[in-house]
Structure 1
Amino acid sequence: MKQLSALLGALVFALLPLLTLAQPTFSTKSGDTPVPPLPVIEKPLDFYTLNTWNANDGLPHNSVNRITQDHEGYLWIATWEGPVRFNGREFLVYDDLSALGASENGVFDISSDGSGETVIASGRRGLMLRHSERTWQVLASADDFVHETVVLADGTLWAAASNAGVLRIDASGARRYYTAQDGLPDTYSQRIFTTGNDAALPRAFHHELWVGTEQGLAVYDATTDRFEAITALPAELVRAVLRMQSGHLAVGMASGLYFCSPELTRCGLYQAFSEGRVSSLLEGVDNELWVGTFAHGVARITASGVDYFGVEQGLPNLHVLDLFLDQEQNLWLGTHGGLVQMRNALFTSFTRRHGANGEFVRAIEQTTDGAIWVGSSEGLTRIFDQYAQSVATSPQLENLSILSLAPLPGNQLLVGSHTDGIFLLQEGKVTHQFGVQQGLSLGEVRSILPLEGKRVWLGTANGILALTLDDKGFQQQFRLNRDDGLASDFVVGLYQDQWTTIWASSIAGLTRLKPQQNGELKVEAIDLAGIGSARNVFAMTEQQQRLWFATDRGLLIYHPETDQWQQLARQHGLPFHSYFSIVFDRDGHLWLGSSRGIVRIDHSSLVQVLNGDTATLNVQLFNSADGIHNHQTNVGGPSAKLAEDGRLWFSTAGGPVVVDPASLQQQDLSPPPIVLEQIIINDTPVDRTHDWDGAIERIRLAYAGLGFRMAQQLEYRVQLRGFDEQWEQRTQTQAEYTSLPAGSFEFAAQVRYPGSQWSEAVTYSFTVPNRFYETLGFWLLILVLGSLTTFGLFRWRLYALQQSRNTLKQLVKEQTKELQLLAHQDDLTRLPNRRAFDQQLRRRFAQAQQQQQPLCLAVIDVDHFKRINDKYLHATGDRILQRVAQLISRTVRQGDFAARWGGEEFTVLLPNTHLAEAKEVCERIRLAIAAQDYSDLKIEEPVTVSIGIACNTQGDASGKLLAAADKALYAAKKGGRNCIRTEA
């Protein structure tokens, strides 16, 4: 059966050109044009979200000639400054001629094969480059400028090569050119298109190959290896060709846009498209047709007709060079003003361009006719059926700064202003006003609460004002302020719950006003300090028998049945502190407006956290990437609204925004692919397909999630398996590890859109080898060296102790010697003292007696020393004694022993010396002392000495020798002093 089906498919494909040529019909009448079935798309093109990139953002050139996508998910862009790879955040420019291996880098076309593993770039002078496995290869050039290339499933490359015709290069490298002689309407070939095996197309249209020439369109017939011209189309330049999923053929030609029936028997000009020449064609997600033009931007063709998007709507340039739909169904435009992304985003923003009367919106409401009313700082806007219209039907509404809105039955609307009080509108016209002149203390009305019995309460900057409203207008009932128990006079919100209790929110607290049976009000200021840290309460709503309050510290939830409060804050997963609006959708999901976007909390997650079943909320954050023109929401009365059709409206600083919560369920938030862009080990780039062999001191891994829907909001988490037990969430797109221990590791990274599932992990395995100090040999060496070192230290310690002991001994010896010296030395003269003399006398006397040698002793006395000492003071006397001692020391012979005996007396032992010889020595002493110059001492008297000498022949005891010498000294003094006497 399968074989039969395949045979029939091949037969239809083979006969299709014959059918096309059998009965060609061409028409320029709109009624005869075989227009394909087109979808109904309610959202005007003007509301699409636009992102642009140009040379200021990293593109090497503003002209984006072609766009494609490879199998990893990267976008590839052809520019005149080289092919460019885009990951959603950064452009990688291939402009290095040495890396490309080419003589020039400018490319006009870029395409990928069926698998996306190979990218072909082509351009001037027949240049063709192949990029595969992250390397470039230069292909043999074509004979002329290459406008466009396609690669078939079998690897065959086809190129539209201008005047050279169509070039085919098969997988073996064989080349062939097709020209007019091979069936082309004209040799000059500009566009080439293949249907491939697109699953959305009927099988009969698979693997078609179309070529657009200067004289018409042709299709390739593989059985004859020739091209067949499509004669149902005019013979003119073909600028674009597309086989649509319905089977219809769309062709952009010099004279306009043409549609052909699937069997190509009828073709006709699409008269509704009359704005300029076609440059490119693309079928959208919903089978709408996108048309790029040379001078009118991009057009979208649906069942409703043609919708244009140009410079006025934000397109950087009107010349659209290419259209491309990526794997996430994002629409990309190549223009002369850069790269453009257009998305039918989740949110729709109404700005001045769309008719809004001012963009700083504070209040949104809906009247009974279904119209949405928007109050801004510049006036009032009415939105109905996607169209916004400024409302200034009464003079009072012109440039009116509006703070609050409230609907009344009969399409009536209450409008609270910043300066002029409150207005009642009927059919958009002011019928009544209550302002300062009517008794309003200030013209500022921040909230309006209609009540039963034609009553209206106003929240103002000076408390609550209660009014009644009838055919005559507004009448004041009473006022409430802090003196009456309000938490604050500055009331920003009023809300009545199902139990008829009225709640007043303010910038300084919350007040509960409870009607009593006697008709009075019980006013109670809620003690927020006892609940949490909130102070400002901005908005209120009711859901699931609970009251919900948006505050400056998250959410407060009140349970009336139990009179209990709960708080949800950042520790529960809320991304911010302050929220200015609060609303539930029909499925119970909670939506919050903040200054940094709109937050959605899943209903089941909310219930689980409130019940204590889980700790963290499942939160999604929406901002400008989702179509919100300005993600700051404002405080107002009210600033968020659930409309009758289920859509949610929010007041923002960039106009009102609307979202259909049901479309969120339809939105495919499948995680994008993630790739490892770069691996650097020890400052060396590494190919992830090759194992690193060597030490790893530092490894840095750069990764990227290739999601283009919300590229700036992608969330990442990484894990180093073998080192980390848990995933680590990151905002950066690289991870770095240093000083890892030895072992095997696997780096893993995942990506997701906020609130969606995590992607499959991209991984890289590597091994950190044992460092030299972690090997067994190293530790054995350390053990041996340690043992030797220990032994050496032990020996050194013993030696050091011995040296210390010897040093100590020497020190003791020297100190002992010093002490001995001090004990035997005279402090003044530095001569031996009397103790030393007595020891020397006994020792030397005994030695002389034993050896029978002579020993003489001289006693020297300074003449008249007492008189000199008394006259010139002791200091002078001491200096004289020092001078005499020096002279004695210098005059005695080697071996003689001089000492200070006491006072002004000195002694000299002269061993082995006879009396006559001793007398000669002493005479030299006497003369030296007498001849010394003492003028520096300022004395007038001469300094002389008397000397007595004795020898050991005088007795057999040392004492007798001393006595004899002393006796001789006495004789010298008595004999006139300054002389020598001996005792024979």
Structure 2
Amino acid sequence: MKTSARLFVVSVLLFSNVVLAQPAADSIVKQSLPMVAPLSFARLGSEDGLPQTTVRAFVQDAAGFMWFGTQDGLVRYDGNRMQVYRPNPLDTATVSSGYVTALESDPSGKIWVGSAETGVSLYDPTTDKFTRFGSDAAKSGTLSSEGVIDIHRDKKDRIWLAMSGGGLNEYQPSSNSFKLFTTAPLDVSVSAIAEDTEGDLWLGTAAGTVIRFNPNTGETKVFTVDASGVTAIRVDSRGFVWIGTERDGLFVLEPTKGSSVNYRNNLKDVTSLSHDGVYAILEDRLGDLWIGTDNGLNRFDKATRSFTRYLHDPADPLSLSGAWVISLYEDRGGQIWVGLFVGGVSKFDRLRLNLAHHRTDTHAAVSFFEEKVGGPLWVGTYHGGLYRYERNANRVTRYETLAQPDSPVIDLKSGWISAIQRDFNGIVWFALIGQGLIAFNPENQNYQQFANNPDESDSLPSDTVWDIWEDPKGNLWLATWGGGLVKFDPDGKGDRFESHKLEDNKGITSNFLYGLYPDPENINILWLATAKGGLVRYDMASGTAKSFRHDAVDEATLGSDDVLTIHRETDAGGAVWVGTHGGGLNRLDPETGKVERFISSNSGLTNNIVYGILSGNDGKLWLSTNGGGLLRFDPKTKKFDAFRARDGLQSDEFGQGGFLQSMSGELFFGGIGGFNAFMPKDIETDKYVPPVVLTGFKRFNQAMTLPRSILTLPALDLTYSDSFEVSFAALSFAAPKDNRFAYKLDGFDEKWVETDRPYATYTRLDGGSYTLRVRAANRHGVWNEAGIALQISVSRPLWKTWWAYTLYVLALAAGVFGYLQYNRRKLAAIDRERRLESVERDLDLTAAVQRGFLPEKNDLAYERLRVQGFYRAADSCSGDWWWHVQPSPGIHWILVGDVTGHGPGPAMVTAAVGTTVRVLTNQGAPTLDELLHIMNNEVIRVGGGMYQMTMGALMLDANSGRWVLYGAGAPPAFSWTAEDGNLKTHFCVGTPLGSEAFEFGQVEGALVPGMRMMLFTDGMPEIELADGKLLGMRRFARLCEATGSKPLDDAVSTLVTQMDQFRGAQKQDDDWTLVLLEWEHEQVYAAVE
């Protein structure tokens, strides 16, 4: 074979400056694209609770809430929920208008709300009410007009209003009125207010002038700019006045000179202002200037005096959510809020800005990078083509197809580019999965494809190449899939493709390679990442290799034999860091061969598949993972910082091969949503300590009217029977869904409960004083340790108050005295043994009678309904009882009762009630509510006022699933679905049976297919545990909820077993009764049949 000759021809085609076999101009399909500014935005819209999508104003109040002014409501946002305030014509304590034009906070935490037509409203967070201020020409101290365009709080905490009807108004707190400044030159419509470092106010006017106003002396100075109406004004940290206009772009005024510079849109210059309509200006805390225009957001570079544009792309959900930017605001956590006209809210922060997110126009996954000093950045994708980024020229070229005469057409846009290497001659070598190796000359656009040919022993041994590296001699080394390590000499010297395989028996442990990594200290050493062969140290000079493998019984070996990436520390004897598939991050000591493993279970590693490892040049490592985001790892402290899509990453999922460190130290990481490019020194975790606030209170799952706003409520009074829920929020808005909480009720909880749910629920606390404490953490785990506290006082039940206990003591003393007197009179006349035998016969007889009033079977099956009952008495005679009635087809009644006390008396009350129920329901006479009243009378008659019976009665329509629950002092009923176990508690208060003032409670609801419902007496929840505490309703509910996936009978038996385990050696002190039913679930009935 004439290999050298053939390669010489290839060399000429690729590398010569002579145009030989030059392809037609349209044979290379490529597209020139503008460079899109790399920034991803988070969005808020109507689906998040925004009442209207034009947002004209923002402010953050003293507590930390964000407020949005829309054209149909004022919004308070806590990161999870939006509270909307709208006007009510019948209530003057509501906001005066839903069309909000301006917002400002005052030192006391109140919010000023400006409107275009109804003056201004002042919101008081302690009362959750508004005070309205309007204009009345007949009254002094009122507004000069009804139109408020801007509101500003100056350095002395004075409130200033810019009025569309003319003038400037200052609020006078002492008189609760306004001082008007309406004489020339302030007799014009004022559209914007800003303040300089000296405390002077700069006023923009609709006439296009700018007025400097001294609020202390009243002196004014007018500056004229050649512009249409002023829409926005800001004074930057250097003292320059930035002026936005309606049609004439952006002006910057230098006050000392009185001169100005005008920035306009230039259609031929992408670094010019994106539009001449400027409506918002913001200088952030780092001094960057942001300009909101009629066509996107602009960032001004003070050094080059150019603009970077951030535009709306309807096809990109991470772009700006609308085109017309009308408001800008930076909160205390560093979030920059962008208000759009008919676009809702977009927001970002410095971390998102610095983690520059580049998105390809095809939205393809990024699979590989290549960059040489002074050259472009080459980016390979999966099904998106080959990209050439010329960042200095602000230009991107996408290559879709390669075609030339006498060569196969290569479709790049449907292929997977797995590796790229630009050699010393400027030739770009790239690999396509399954299509071999391509050499491409970007200057003359010639190319050559190399593929496997079974008939040629020196052809490329595999058509899948995962990595390419060029050694100092110009040889290309290839990591192939199935062909081992391959050496290729593009100049045609020696064998064309030289394979180094497992079969050579020289130490290479796998023919399937992922990557090649030259040793920074030894030019002859190449580290190989293999599949199923571990880590290989290959000596290119001798052709020998040493491997490092996984050993399941030796934790000092690799965590996995699937090695995806390698990074060698540059210092002598430096460690080798290994990223594996499933084995996490490994640190290899090359001298000893010992490995230290970092996996998700023993460290902060978020995912055990590590695709890429790069150095940040500060001793820290950056790791890309499969679904765990991007990690910064400090080998000294062994601490991981995790960054996620919430922070501006292309996604949480990165990919094999998609990582690069440029010569400048910039890092590139690619994944399924594009790629991020950043300088490590610019990336900081979120240090903002989130304020914690209480946001809501529910009692029995219903919002409760409080004496004052819960934001400022110091204490709360409840009763012993209350079940309640307190909701809270962490006011860190970078990634609200990733905020975490910890709460603890002092006096009840032994430990802090950590959760991602913004609420805490408690049921039936014992009487006493408690303190609910709540802490919160931001997205990166920075906790507000101080948190917030709410004092809660729970009243004791009447029978547990001090005077009740006093009565108990007196009654007991009287009873003891009476008992002794009774004994003295009777002991002589009663034979003790005969009396005991008589009592035992009475107990046995009573128990037998009682058993006759329980259902014959515990499991009942009907069409679309199954019922499983359980009853176990504490003594031979008990007061518990349950019954099932089907008064008509498809209608079911389930009764669960509990008589106070134990022994023959309660048992006979139960028997009497049971007889009444059986007789009356057999006659078909009463309704269920009528039956309850009849049973009440029967308890009074038989019990003689000594006994009462709690009762839970359920009426269920098995045809529709509708149910009505009647309560007579009984515990709540539970319902949940077998699939997800989401348990709900149905409280139904009422008085027990046996009272002249009897009243029952009533609630209604509907079951869904597969839903379960349970009625029960208080015996199980009130089990006494080993430590003397009761099991409690909340813990009992969780145990019930956990049985959701079990069949009905298994669920009951499991619950009873758990109750016995909790009881332990303790005697069963009370009767246990429950009835569990399940409605219309096909899978359950298939199992039953």
Provide the TM-score with structure 1 as the length reference. Answer: 0.67
Greater Cα offset, 746-755 or 241-250: 746-755
Q: CA deviation at 1:318?
A: 2.4
Q: 1:561 to 1:55 in 2, by over 3 A?
A: same
Q: CA deviation at 1:804?
A: 5.7
Match of 2:1009 in 1: none
Q: Structure 2 residue aligned with 1:692, among 690, 708, 716?
A: 716
Match of 1:647 in 2: 666
CA distance in 2, matches of 1:315, 1:581: 30
CA distance in 2, matches of 1:291, 1:315: 13
Q: Structure 1 residue aligned with 2:726, among 677, 701, 722?
A: 701
Q: CA deviation at 1:338?
A: 0.9
2:514 counterpart of 1:492: yes
For the 8 Å contact 2:626–2:654, the answer to whether it is kept is yes
Q: Structure 2 residue aligned with 1:144, among 118, 143, 146?
A: 146
Match of 2:396 in 1: 389
Q: Structure 1 residue aligned with 2:648, among 627, 636, 642?
A: 627
CA distance in 2, matches of 1:138, 1:367: 65
Match of 1:843 in 2: none
Match of 2:296 in 1: 297
Match of 1:363 in 2: 368
Q: Structure 1 residue aligned with 2:176, among 173, 198, 201?
A: 173
Deviations 1:422-457 (A, max 9, x none): 234566666664312363354111233545765544
CA distance in 2, matches of 1:567, 1:240: 57
Greater Cα offset, 557-566 or 96-105: 96-105
Q: Secondary structure of the residue that 2:496 maps to in structure 1?
A: strand
Q: Give the gaps of 5 or more residues in structure 1.
A: 1-42, 196-200, 609-616, 811-984
Report the residue type matching 2:259 in the other structure: R
Greater Cα offset, 558-567 or 655-664: 558-567
CA distance in 1, matches of 2:472, 2:214: 79
Report the residue type matching 1:580 in the other structure: Y
Q: Secondary structure of the residue that 1:88 maps to in structure 2?
A: coil
CA distance in 2, matches of 1:479, 1:519: 8
CA distance in 1, matches of 2:581, 2:719: 55
For the 8 Å contact 1:742–1:769, the answer to whether it is kept is yes
For the 8 Å contact 2:583–2:599, the answer to whether it is kept is yes
Written as runs of structure 1 = structure 2, the 5 A alignment for 1:201-600 is 201-202=196-197, 204=198, 206-208=199-201, 210=203, 212-214=205-207, 216-222=209-215, 225=218, 228=220, 230-233=222-225, 237-254=229-246, 256=248, 257-263=250-256, 265-267=258-260, 269-271=262-264, 275-293=275-293, 295-303=294-302, 304=304, 305-312=306-313, 314-336=319-341, 337-344=343-350, 345=352, 346-353=354-361, 359-369=364-374, 371-377=376-382, 378-385=384-391, 387=394, 389-390=396-397, 392=399, 395=403, 399=412, 400-406=415-421, 408-411=423-426, 413-425=428-440, 433-437=449-453, 439-450=459-470, 455-472=475-492, 475-481=496-502, 489-495=511-517, 497=519, 503-510=527-534, 512=536, 515=539, 520-521=544-545, 526-527=550-551, 530-531=554-555, 534=560, 536-543=562-569, 544-572=574-602, 573-600=604-631
Match of 2:918 in 1: none
Q: CA deviation at 1:751?
A: 3.1
Match of 1:858 in 2: none
Q: CA deviation at 1:73?
A: 1.9
Q: 1:468 to 1:319 in 2, by over 3 A?
A: closer
Q: Secondary structure of the residue that 1:675 maps to in structure 2?
A: strand
Q: CA deviation at 1:102?
A: 4.3
CA distance in 2, matches of 1:214, 1:120: 26
Q: CA deviation at 1:375?
A: 1.7
Match of 1:864 in 2: none
Q: Structure 1 residue aligned with 2:682, among 663, 682, 687?
A: 663
Total equivalences in the alignment: 740
Report the residue type matching 2:107 in the other structure: S
Deviations 1:468-494 (A, max 9, x none): 314127712235247968665543234
Q: Give the gaps of 5 or more residues in structure 2.
A: 1-33, 136-144, 266-272, 404-408, 843-1089
Report the residue type matching 2:283 in the other structure: E
Q: CA deviation at 1:360?
A: 1.4
Deviations 1:622-679 (A, max 9, x none): 222322233320112xx322222222211211223212110125x6623232222234
For the 8 Å contact 2:548–2:593, the answer to whether it is kept is no
CA distance in 1, matches of 2:285, 2:391: 23
Match of 1:162 in 2: 164
Q: Which has the higher helix share?
A: 1
Q: 1:629 to 1:154 in 2, by over 3 A?
A: same
Deviations 1:874-896 (A, max 9, x none): xxxxxxxxxxxxxxxxxxxxxxx
Q: 1:651 to 1:700 in 2, by over 3 A?
A: same
Written as runs of structure 1 = structure 2, the 5 A alignment for 1:954-973 is none
CA distance in 1, matches of 2:479, 2:227: 73
Written as runs of structure 1 = structure 2, the 5 A alignment for 1:873-952 is none
CA distance in 1, matches of 2:108, 2:299: 27
Percent identity over paired residues:
19
CA distance in 2, matches of 1:385, 1:263: 38
For the 8 Å contact 1:421–1:436, the answer to whether it is kept is yes
Q: Secondary structure of the residue that 2:231 maps to in structure 1?
A: strand
Q: Secondary structure of the residue that 2:117 maps to in structure 1?
A: helix
For the 8 Å contact 1:619–1:755, the answer to whether it is kept is no
Q: Structure 1 residue aligned with 2:693, among 663, 675, 694?
A: 675
Report the residue type matching 2:468 in the other structure: I
Q: 1:259 to 1:348 in 2, by over 3 A?
A: closer
CA distance in 1, matches of 2:46, 2:776: 28
Q: Secondary structure of the residue that 1:662 maps to in structure 2?
A: helix
Q: Secondary structure of the residue that 2:671 maps to in structure 1?
A: coil
Q: Secondary structure of the residue that 1:802 maps to in structure 2?
A: helix
Greater Cα offset, 536-545 or 99-108: 99-108
Written as runs of structure 1 = structure 2, the 5 A alignment for 1:729-808 is 729-740=754-765, 744-755=769-780, 757-769=782-794, 771-772=796-797, 777-779=803-805, 781-782=807-808, 801-803=833-835
CA distance in 2, matches of 1:524, 1:575: 25
Match of 1:14 in 2: none
Provide the TM-score with structure 2 as the length reference. Answer: 0.61
Q: Secondary structure of the residue that 1:732 maps to in structure 2?
A: coil
Report the residue type matching 1:332 in the other structure: W
Q: 1:607 to 1:297 in 2, by over 3 A?
A: closer
Report the residue type matching 2:436 in the other structure: G
Report the residue type matching 2:290 in the other structure: W
> Which structure has the larger Rg?
1
CA-atom RMSD in angstroms: 3.9
Report the residue type matching 1:296 in the other structure: N
Match of 1:618 in 2: 639
For the 8 Å contact 2:281–2:290, the answer to whether it is kept is yes
Match of 2:53 in 1: 62
Q: CA deviation at 1:799?
A: 7.9
CA distance in 2, matches of 1:504, 1:477: 16
CA distance in 2, matches of 1:659, 1:635: 19
Q: CA deviation at 1:403?
A: 0.7
Q: Secondary structure of the residue that 1:707 maps to in structure 2?
A: coil
For the 8 Å contact 1:423–1:434, the answer to whether it is kept is yes
Q: 1:210 to 1:799 in 2, by over 3 A?
A: farther
Match of 2:927 in 1: none
Q: Secondary structure of the residue that 2:107 maps to in structure 1?
A: coil
